[in-house]
Amino acid sequence: MKTPRNLGLVAVVVFVISHFLPAYGNSSGFTCFRVCWNIFLGSDADVPRVGWFYYSGFVICNILFIGLVVALFVTKKWRKLRLVVSVILFSHVLSWWALNTFQQPPQIAEIEIGYYVWLIAYGLLVAAHLGKERRP
């Protein structure tokens, strides 16, 4: 049974779909990624250094997401490390919800379905790395 790989495939499909859905305000997931990418590259000089680290983290999360899915298919090495990294990525993505929920005034209404679908993709990635390949 290849449950971790199947979860990885589902995670990729969900991840891709999330980028086409509205994610924050009027912006799609892909637009949000582009904004974070521009911050990561330093194109937005108005973002303070702390903001640069935070938003750049989303760029790194998206890149590592693909890397971790590929790792599910090509190696069985570093399982625990991959699990830890996937949990860290999930936590960083979840932090956006927490940030918008607990700021004053709360901005939770700005978060759209695409964000939640994106978060589910990271949850599926964690589940895939939690599972073990069963031998037939």
pLDDT in tens, 96-112: 999 888 888 888 888 89
Q: Give the H/E segment covering residue 51.
A: helix 49-74
The stretch 116-130 carries a mean pLDDT of 95
The first and second tokens of residue 87, run together, are 């949990």
Closest CA to 86 of 104, 105, 71, 106: 71
Q: pLDDT per residue over 33-88, tens digit each?
A: 998 888 888 766 676 677 788 889 999 999 999 999 999 888 788 888 999 999 99
The first and second tokens of residue 72, run together, are 């599910």
Cα distance between residue 54 and residue 3, in whole Å? 33
